[in-house]
Structure 1
Amino acid sequence: MARIACLVLSLLISSHAFAVRQTWLEPEFVKRAFLEVALKNEYSSGDKPLVKWHQPIKIWVEHRVGDIELHEQLTNAHIEHLRQITSHPIERVSKREQANVIWIYTKESLWRQDIKREIGPHALKHIRGAICKAGYRVSVQDSQIIKASVIIPVDQSRTHGKLLACVVEEITQVLGLPNDSELAYPSIFNDQTPDDLLSPLDVILLKLLYEPEMRSGMNKAQVTEQLDKLLVRYQQQGMLAEAVSLARSAPLHQLLR
């Protein structure tokens, strides 16, 4: 366990996000960030329909590399945090056929073939400069997410000091926040954010996405209307201010203790 603790410590960087401008307290900023991260996609232009899971998320993890205990700790800790934030059912399953999310810890030499098999050949067009990869499929009828994959080449991500970032960002994105944006800060969806864990802004974005009022398939006007109502409620109930404690309560933070 001592070795695991040392490995975790080497993966985590100091948290600077809470010292910057507290953007999650500003409803207009949160609204703009949500519209950018949830309704846009880094690989195509224009606004997209809102996507999210409606069915329970069932994750099967395959380990093709060593340090299994470390990867299990990171995986389980972040899944628990996402479940706490969204109140959406998310669980691990023991068999691949039970899963709608396939999560693979692999190595760089196998990365391309894993992406091609799990996400599809089209995804290979977008791996230039990427360190890890995730993708999801949606229902044609209502845009709800029905299947997803996360592929993390451990040797490649650790070489860049991004194993933790890959664990946190990729599974979070396949919940329905697909876009990286400079307009979201501090956020794991912004490469300039110094922290690899969910920021208070990320917590709010996830909570908003999994409110019952937010339905997959909604367009920008419909999403905006609901955001305005939800953010008034969040502000009145103190939920924006509570985002810091929700971010800091992440089980991943506890691994440092």
Structure 2
Amino acid sequence: MARAPLSLQPSLKALKGAALLVASAGLLAACVMAPAPQGRAPQPPQARSQKPKAAAPSAASQALRAYYAGVQAELLSLGLMRTDTGAKDAPFSARILANNFTRIAFFDEFDSSSGTLVARPTEKRLRRWGNPVRVGLNFSASVTKDQRAIETARVRSFLARLSQVTGHSIQLANSGVNFHLHILDTDEIRALGPTVRRDAPGIGAAELQSITNMPDSTYCQVTTSIDEASNLIERAFAVIRAEHPDLLHLSCLHEEISQGLGLPNDSPQARPSIFNDDQEFALLTPMDEMMLKMLYDKRLSPGMTAAEARPIIDQLADALVGGDS
């Protein structure tokens, strides 16, 4: 049976704000210029009972670790990367929820129709997963065994939360993987081309370049493969930098996994939400959970336009928030 072509839609979490870029760029420049260690004293052979050590990060990777630590510190000093719900200072009505859902679910963050990625909201039909989502977790060689165990438990817990919210099967898997989640350092990201082509066949040159040549201002990103006939997401490929400090890293996990489920856009009007490039909120908020719940509600169907879906969206938002006050 012939299959419809797949459309690949990228989404990324990037550094915004000129002042923060200037401050962080200075930190990066200082780190890159620092001299690399000249050598190490010989070490005794490891005993067989010792755990194998992770690969030592390169000088470029170490510089990025310092850079992103500075980025996170700067964001926190500005009162951003909040981990609260936003209920006290960012209440929202059913209408606000419906408007934000429409902006985020029915628009792509980037347009690649010209052969290059252009940051331009582009209206699309509703898309979501039809098959169970099976997430394969892949780590950089520089991530230690203990860190991998912690990370795996953290991702498993978040996927269980998403599955409960959406009512859709979402879990970690070692086989049948259709959502590839890579946590890699900068050197491995640059060499990721063959892996991307294998796991996301049909990816365009612009999307591939956006992954393997991620600028330092891009924290993480996800690309989804969508069947144009059914508007169902068939595969996703996410990359998160291994150099992030903990909160920035967790923020990337929350946003990229959630966007890979079918909420591809960001909007400056979305508050309190992680689907907003101002970085105010670091973690999935109650509004975000409501939007995911709406996305997978059976009263909405993949392929609907925003105009077709809007009456149903309003009903769902009223039921979740309790109507406008």
TM range (shorter): 0.7 to 0.9
Q: 2:130 maps to what in 1? A: 54
**Which ranges in structure 1 are unaligned for 5 or more consecutive residues?**
1-9, 241-257
Of Structure 1 and Structure 2, the greater strand share is in 2
User: Where does residue 304 of structure 2 map in the other structure?
Assistant: 218
Deviations 1:146-198 (A, max 9, x none): 1001111211x339x51011111100000000011101111011133533211
Residues 214-248 of structure 1: CA deviation (Å, up to 9, x unaligned): 11111111121211222233345x9x9xxxxxxxx
- Distance in 2 between residues matched to 1:188 and 1:111, nearest whole Å: 24
The TM-score with structure 1 as length reference comes to 0.79
Kindly indicate whether the alpha-carbon contact (under 8 Å) linking 2:156 and 2:171 is maintained by their aligned counterparts in 1: no
Tell me how far apart the structure 2 counterparts of residues 76 and 86 of structure 1 sit (CA, whole Å): 15
Q: Label 1:235 to 1:187 Cα distance change in 2 as closer, same or farther (>3 A).
A: closer
- Note closer, same or farther for the CA distance 1:223–1:112 as it changes in structure 2 (3 Å cut): farther
Q: Which has the higher helix share?
A: 1
Aligned to 1:74: 154
8 A Cα contact 2:139 2:183, kept in partner: yes
Taking only aligned residues, the RMSD between alpha carbons, in angstroms, comes to: 2.5
Give the aligned partner of residue 150 of structure 1.
238
**Aligned residue in 1 for 2:222:** 134
Q: TM-score, normalised by structure 2?
A: 0.63
* Aligned twin of 1:18: 87
Q: 1:116 to 1:151 in 2, by over 3 A?
A: farther
Identity between Structure 1 and Structure 2 (%): 24
Alignment of 1:86-105 (within 5 A): 86-95=166-175, 98-105=176-183
Secondary structure of 2:123 counterpart: coil
Question: Could you tell me which of 103, 107, 115 is aligned with 1:40?
Answer: 107
Q: How many residues align?
A: 223
Between 194-203 and 52-61, the greater mean CA deviation after superposition: 194-203
Residue range with higher mean Cα deviation, 226-235 or 166-175: 226-235
Residue matched to 2:282: 196
Whichever of the two has the greater Rg, that structure is 2
Q: Contact 1:187–1:193 (CA<8 Å) still a contact in 2?
A: no
Structure 2 unpaired stretches of 5+: 1-72, 112-120
Query: Corresponding residue for 1:5?
Result: none
Which stretch shifts more, 186-195 or 31-40? Answer: 186-195
- Taking the aligned partners of 1:208 and 1:169, their CA distance within structure 2 comes to 17
